[in-house]
Amino acid sequence: MSVSLTKGQTVNLTKSGGGSLSRVRMGLGWDAIKKRGLFGGTKQVSVDLDASALLFTAAGQVVDIVYFGQLRSKDGSLQHTGDNRTGAGEGDDESILVELPQVPAEVAHIVFVVNSYSGQNFSQIENAVARAVDSADGDRELVRYELSGSGTHTAVVMARLSRSGAGWTFTAVGTPGEGRTANQLVPLVARTL
What whole-number distance in Å separates Cα of residue 96 and Cα of residue 46? 21
Looking at every residue in the chain, the average pLDDT score rounds to: 84
Gyration radius (Cα) of the chain, Å: 16
pLDDT value at position 107?
A: 97
E strand intervals along the chain? 3-5, 10-12, 23-31, 33-36, 42-45, 49-56, 62-66, 78-80, 94-99, 109-116, 126-134, 140-146, 155-164, 167-177
CB atoms within 10 A of CB 68: 18
The 3-state secondary structure of 121-157 reads CCCCCEEEEEEEEEHHHCCEEEEEEECCCCCCCCEEE
What whole-number distance in Å separates Cα of residue 152 and Cα of residue 173? 18
Q: Say if CB 154 and CB 30 are below 8 A apart.
A: no
pLDDT value at position 193?
A: 92
107 Cβ neighbours under 8 A, 6+ residues apart: 55, 56, 57, 63, 163
More confident residue, 128 or 55: 55
**pLDDT greater than 60 at residue 150:** no
All structural domains of the chain, each given as residue ranges with its CATH number in brackets, are: 3-33+44-191 (2.60.60.30)
| Per-residue pLDDT band at 1 (split at 50, 70, 90) | very low
